[in-house]
Structure 1
Amino acid sequence: MAKPDNRADNVEHLQEHIQNTLQNLDEAEEYLNEFGSEISSEESSQIQEKNERRKQSIENFREELKDEANR
């Protein structure tokens, strides 16, 4: 049997996702700032690409958060 659709805590979960993603983004940027000259350009590019995906995810989470808050 399927679980009932309980959206009561969606806003809270989305806020947690945003905070976790922002923290990961900040940590990756700090890593690049500290060790950027010591890592390969490939690794640096991969981290930068992942950060771009994180930024997009944050935007998507915020849009979804707005939708949930308006319900």
Structure 2
Amino acid sequence: MTKPDNRADNEAHLQDHIDHTFANLREAEDYLDEHADEITADEKHDIEAKNERRKESIDGFIAEKRDEARR
């Protein structure tokens, strides 16, 4: 038997995802600020690219949270 679709806590879960992803983004930025002269250009590029994906994810989570709020 399948579970019913319970969306009661979707907004809270989405906010958790936003907070967690933003914390990772900030941590990576802080790492770059502190160690930019110690890492290779490829490593720096990889971290910057990952942060761009994190920003896109955050935007997506925010849009999804808005959609949930309208329901």
Give 1:2 shift.
2.1
CA distance in 1, matches of 2:51, 2:4: 35
**How many correspondences in the alignment?**
71
Identity score, percent: 58
| Structure 1: unaligned runs, 5 residues or longer | none
**Backbone CA RMSD of aligned residues:** 0.6
Aligned to 1:59: 59
TM-score w.r.t. the length of structure 1 is 0.97
1:1-71 matches, within 5 Å, as 1-71=1-71
Query: 1:3 and 1:42 mapped to 2: Cα distance?
Result: 46
Instruction: Spell out structure 1 runs of 4+ moving beyond 4 A.
Output: none
**TM-score, normalisation: structure 2:** 0.97
